[in-house]
Structure 1
Amino acid sequence: MDNCTCSATPTLFFACSGGSNVGQLANDACRELTREGVGKLFCLAGIGGHISGIVESAKASSTAVAVDGCGVKCALKALEAANVPIAHHTDWGIEKNGNLFPEAAAVQKAKQIIQDNCR
């Protein structure tokens, strides 16, 4: 897979990991992209909790990617509220439901969408 990074600082993924299929899909896709070296999953809860070190690290990143699974856009809104510059935002319009275990094919599709949005 292509690396989503074009500078010395890594791409940081801020994934929704809410209690739904799309939240878990965002989280699972970003975990796999981190394992593959495409970027680094970073702490969205720390952004929302206003943890100064986490917020400052996010602001220092050259590429912050907000990965939302649904139209509520929690990741995007949390980063905006903390004044973190957002290089890319993604969501994929999959219907939200209570299934917390996305299928592997859906995770692969989400990974591709995230990477396509980082180009």
Structure 2
Amino acid sequence: MSSNCCRPAAMPLILACSGGSNVGQATNQVALELTREGRGKMFCLAGLGGDIAGIIKTVREAGETDGVIVLDGCALGCAKGIMERAGLPLGTYLVATDLGIEKVKDSQLLVRQEDVDKLKAAAIGGARA
């Protein structure tokens, strides 16, 4: 019998760009939806950028156990840069625009559910089981 038969399923941390465009907001929406569905736990990317020791430690430990999903909106790679600056591995890394989701800078930050669904499926598919 496996020694981890009664351990809860892996719960990856989700770090989302949440930037000021539709694709950044789509990554935020994906993190919210995956958290609500119990497929991961949204976590504080800003805390990593702020060099908060406890947050860095939590993300490092998650990367060694349950996994980390990092979502960037576009090729600027702000979330990736924050992870690298903190010395943390990316784990599952996705960029919304790499999935064919067009970045639109507008005052209404229109996030289309079909874009959220596409990014969410890719995030689920790339995460450790």
- Class of the TM-score when normalised by the shorter of the 2 chains: 0.7 to 0.9
Superposed, 1:1-119 pairs within 5 Å as 10-61=11-62, 62=65, 63-93=67-97, 94-99=101-106, 100-118=109-127
Distance in 1 between residues matched to 2:116 and 2:93, nearest whole Å: 17
Distance in 1 between residues matched to 2:86 and 2:77, nearest whole Å: 14
Cα shift at 1:101 = 2.9
SS at match of 1:83: coil
Cα shift at 1:8 = 6.2
Identical aligned pairs, as a percentage? Answer: 42
TM-score w.r.t. length of structure 1 = 0.86
Unpaired runs of 5+ in structure 1? 1-6
Unpaired runs of 5+ in structure 2? 1-7
1:15/1:26 contact within 8 Å kept: yes
Cα shift at 1:79 = 0.8
Cα shift at 1:85 = 2.4
The higher radius of gyration belongs to 2
Cα shift at 1:108 = 1.2
1:92/1:113 contact within 8 Å kept: no
Deviates more, 1:83-92 or 1:39-48: 83-92
Distance in 2 between residues matched to 1:28 and 1:58, nearest whole Å: 20
The residue type equivalent to 1:75 in the other structure is: A
The alignment yields a C-alpha RMSD, in angstroms, of 1.9
2:71/2:96 contact within 8 Å kept: no
SS at match of 2:96: coil
Q: How many residues of Structure 1 are paired with residues of Structure 2 in the alignment?
A: 114
Q: 1:84 to 1:8 in 2, by over 3 A?
A: farther
